[in-house]
Chains A and B, each alone.
Chain A
Amino acid sequence: MATSAAPAHLAPKSAVGYDEHSGIWSWIATVDHKRIGLLYLFTALGFFLVGGLEAVIIRAQLQGPNGTIVSAEMYNQLFTMHGTTMIFLAVMPLSAAFFNFLIPLQIGARDVAFPRLNAFSYWVYLFGGLFITLPIFFKVAPNGGWFGYTPLTTPSFSPQVNIDFWVVGLQILGVSSLAAAFNFITTIINLRAPGMTLMRMPMFTWMSFVVQFMLVLAFPVITIALVFLLFDRFFGTQFYEIAAGADPLLWQHLFWIFGHPEVYILILPAFGLVSEIIPANSRKPLFGYPVMVYSGILIALLGFGVWAHHMFAVGMGPIADSVFALATMLIGIPTGVKIFNWIGTMAQGQVRFTTAMLFAIGLVALFTIGGISGVMHSSPPADLQQTDTYFIVAHFHYVLFGGSIMGIFGGIYHYFPKMTGRLMNERLGKIHFWINFIGMNLTFFPMHFSGMLGMPRRIYTYDAGQGWDTFNLISSIGAYMLVVSTAIFAYNFLRSRRNGEIAGSNPWNAGTLEWTIPSPVPEYNFAELPKVTSRYPLWEGNETDAESARINSQEGKTPADLGIVLPYSTIKPMIVAFSMVVMFTGLLISKAVLFIGAAVMVVALYSWLLAPLEPEHH
């Protein structure tokens, strides 16, 4: 090992100064992908509650005409932060929780390729998330919308600190996403167990794989757009300064070249989760597996060629409008194919209505609605009436709530036993599902009407007598139901961690690799790296699969018993992440803070890189 060359004083002590298995330090210093996955899960659920609260205040304000619960300024901060929080701090990290927890288990690996980089990604996300979230408690939160259109966000029109938090915060979060994406790509390419060919990978891992490439390709574009804006705001450049002749569409193109793939970054992991839940609860392999793989890749590819459908009203001219319209319509085909294949998986199966399955069926039902309304504004003339109205709000909430969030809830119920060793309460789970399902439709379906009846988006209030009152009232009632359903979920989640029924290694009789190992998963994952001969080793595997499963299902062995070397726990990635956020914060406060942050970051980074990952192998 190269680590033997490390100077003695840099070599970590073999016995760390704290208990590695419990207590808060075991979480702060962990490099175990499962614990990092859980950290992502808890943190993202926390931000999900914050984003949900922002949404409820929005709905309370719009419950009736000329609402006065919050001021215009506060409302603008709330809707900006609701979007930013839900996209960057809730749905993406909830997906990341599953990437972290599941990918190594599904491909038969001991951890991700770069465990410390993985910890770094998490800490950057946490500190970056706090950086962008905390300002709202001081009424200085970003207020330019999650899309941050220039020139509104340029210093000429938003001189206050609000937008600074947004520009810098998104840059910080981008670091986290990119580091994680490279990590997972490397993991999936290099760490698959023997026999785990690409076309045997579980569909969740496949969709995750596709998403990582999308992240790697999409985030640099927003990074560049944000660097321009950051330079405009802090160093006096004029990339977006209209008085200096800037074209306001530069930002829009850059933003949506990132922003549209981002939509698929948000939905494909949920598609992956549902593609695990439906076969497990139908006792049938996924219908049309190769088609599901190809359609996922096709959605991702096409997703990079449709960005300007967010811009049909900007006056791009008939040729550009037509090209982007046709490209957008094309995406409907692979998406439809996915829906049909899920239905095909259930057909002739034995559908079992677990809570996870209800959420998966809910996704199929609701995403279909979002898909159809999506086709409705793929047509630019029709979109000229729909864009920037509540019709669009309805559409993308059917996609993101009806799609991503339903899929993620399903994933939580399905994988909770693998994460904790205990089952979530199914009765409470079903109550959660039904209130959630009804509340969701009550909130968002009427928005189709309020939008087509002329209600613009992002307005902090509306006048009486416009024909929107009833629809808004129904939407607000639905939102209050969602509060109730989420509270039930939170209670169930917290209670089941301690008191849930013991799950066993495979409570759902599922067929994929992660169900061959004990629940909760031992820190080394697989006592012996499995040899894989089929897509569903527990269903259709031969003796080789069965033998792997038998060895790996044994509980109570320590890594030492098995001679498995695990990476050292370390807080260095966290220190690097923290000092990086301090460095960025310096932009807003003073150069001194910036330089101190940078200095600590460099020292901590060197210290991290010079320390060996794990003990020497013997």
Chain B
Amino acid sequence: MKGKARLRQLAPLGIAIALLTLAACADSYPNTTFDPHSELGRAIDSIWDRLLILGTIVFVLVEAALLYVVFRYRRRPNDTSTPPQTHGNAVLEIIWTIIPAVILLFIAVPTVRTIFKTQAKAVAGALEIQVIGHQWWWEFRYPEYNIVTANEIYIPTGRTVNFKMTSQDVIHSFWIPQLAGKRDVIANRTNYIWFTPDTTLGPSVWNGFCTEYCGASHAKMRFRVFTVKPDQFASWVAGQQRPAAFGAQQGAPPPMLMPFPGARNDRAAPAPPSNPAVTAPVGAATASLASAGPGYTFPQNQPEFDYAKPHTPVPAGLKFTPGLTGNAARGQQVYSSAACIGCHTITGNPMSMGATAPNLTHIGSRATLGAGTFPNTPAYLALWIKNARAMKPGVLMPTLGKGEYDPQLKQKVTTGGLDDQQIADIVAYLTSLK
């Protein structure tokens, strides 16, 4: 009787849980690990399926046994008899030692097999992308194509991509849930992870995350991965290989790729391209497109990829004068005489050779700002230049807006700050760098 009453009390709670679960199912899951789109993702997922089935069976059996015993052998009122004082049973002990051992065997064998399969050397001809972790952004390099970019990766479907990673500072971890598992990005070490995006994939965007706690803005160290068709990829490569789309000097030297800051444990290193700086663009499609207009970029504002569009709110109090029109030529001058060039590179702008911050050569073609924190629109870019430190905790990029409060120095920018018109000009310059 009492049990029934309790059940009735719990009923509303059960209904609430059921409703919440339903509500949860109505959401979509853009970062799910249950819907992998590469051979690595599927290898992991098949082990997961096995773990889930065996785990569920064990869970149901153990909890059922527990509930059965607890209710079957509950003490009746006024029962003062002594139950049988058993001390154990050797046969039972052996049985329930062996059963888990056998279950574990069913997990262990495919586990070891998959470990060796997925950690083998990547196939020859894989696309190498170098991943260099920074607090709190990602540097990506394509040595084969002599491209340096930040926070956004384009990869062609159907071609194995081999990520070669290291860090410039603390430990980060590289994760694209729908495509692969994680690999830590560690200074003084070189790590690899490789996978092949399914050939059947249409052009899509995937969210990537840093998953090793790396300090103040760990939560805002995101990136985007665009899986595109091979011809689209070739077009993108061609676009990225060109110097800055605006104001580039004629005959500016091609960018030199810095040596990979790698590591002594580089046991699985594939042979590097002979000399990345002079390697010609690879692939016929690339060559034919090399002189065409701006390369392919993944179209923005597609409703089905809304999950890849950041919704981070702008900090209260950070405002920009409305109605200002920027002038790109003036912007280039301001940019080239301001602090920007100390840290950023723009290929084709000989003043801008800094190497500690994201490469901005094609920033106009990127979808996001601040490592996936804000959409890359002129409005956000202006606010970012004005006060990046208010937009994203801890960033190295200084607060530049005149009169703005720098939360790290805990003082207002007085001398040398940029006014809104100057920022608008820089925005015009940068957004023209498609």
Contact = CB atoms under 8 A, between A and B. Distances in A.
Q: Do they bind each other?
A: yes
B66 to A, nearest CB: 6
Contact of A373 (B55, B88, B135): B55
B181 A348 contact: no
A463 B32 contact: no
Contacts of A322: 111-112, 115-116
Contacts of B66: 343, 361, 364-365, 368
B96 A66 contact: no
A462 B207 CA distance: 12
Contacts of A442: 17
Given A381-B181, A438-B13, A470 B27 contact: yes
B183 A283 contact: no
Contact of A465 (B52, B63, B178, B307): B307
Contacts of B70: 346, 351, 361
B96 A313 contact: no
A124 B262 CA distance: 44
B149 interface: no
Contact of B65 (A158, A343, A349): A343
Interface string B16-53: 01001001100111111110000000011001100110
A88 B309 CA distance: 41
A555 interface: no
B43 A460 contact: no
B201 interface: no
B80 to A, nearest CB: 9
Contacts of B58: 368, 372
B209 interface: yes
A461 B181 contact: no
B83 A449 contact: no
A368 B118 contact: no
B187 A457 contact: no
Contacts of B321: none
Contacts of B393: 71-73
B31 A466 contact: yes
Interface stretch (B139-147, B210-218, B244-252, B342-350): B210-218
Given A247-B188, A321-B115, A325-B112, A385 B48 contact: yes
A195 interface: no
B28 A387 contact: no
Nearest to A438: B13
A512 to B, nearest CB: 15
A385 B181 contact: yes
A540 B58 CA distance: 35
Contacts of A462: 219
A353 B216 contact: no
Contacts of A282: 73, 83
Contact of A325 (B83, B115, B171, B311): B115
B150 to A, nearest CB: 19
A330 B112 CA distance: 14
A224 interface: no
A343 B178 CA distance: 40
Interface in B278-315: 306-307, 309-313
B414 interface: no
A381 B31 contact: no
A326 B306 contact: no
A458 B59 CA distance: 28
Interface in A454-511: 454-467, 469-471, 474
Contacts of B189: 247-249, 315
A436 interface: no
Contacts of B181: 313, 381, 383-385
Given A66-B313, A318-B119, A372 B55 contact: yes
Given A72-B219, A467-B28, A385 B170 contact: no
A290 B88 contact: yes
A466 B47 contact: no
B99 to A, nearest CB: 8
Given A248-B171, A284-B85, A454 B32 contact: yes
B87 A289 contact: yes
A332 interface: yes
Contact of B267 (A313, A317, A352): A317
Interface string A312-353: 011101100110011001101100110111011011111111
A112 to B, nearest CB: 30
B191 interface: yes
B215 A157 contact: yes
Contacts of B30: 454, 465-467
A66 to B, nearest CB: 6
Interface of B: 13, 17, 20, 23-24, 27-34, 43-44, 47-48, 51-52, 55, 58-59, 62-63, 65-66, 69-70, 73-76, 79, 81-89, 92-93, 96-97, 100-101, 104, 107-108, 111-112, 114-116, 118-119, 135, 169-171, 173, 175, 177-178, 180-184, 186-189, 191-192, 207, 209-219, 265, 267, 306-307, 309-313, 393-394
17 contacts: A73-B394, A152-B213, A242-B169, A282-B83, A321-B115, A336-B100, A343-B65, A350-B73, A351-B69, A351-B73, A352-B75, A375-B107, A376-B48, A381-B44, A384-B183, A385-B182, A453-B29
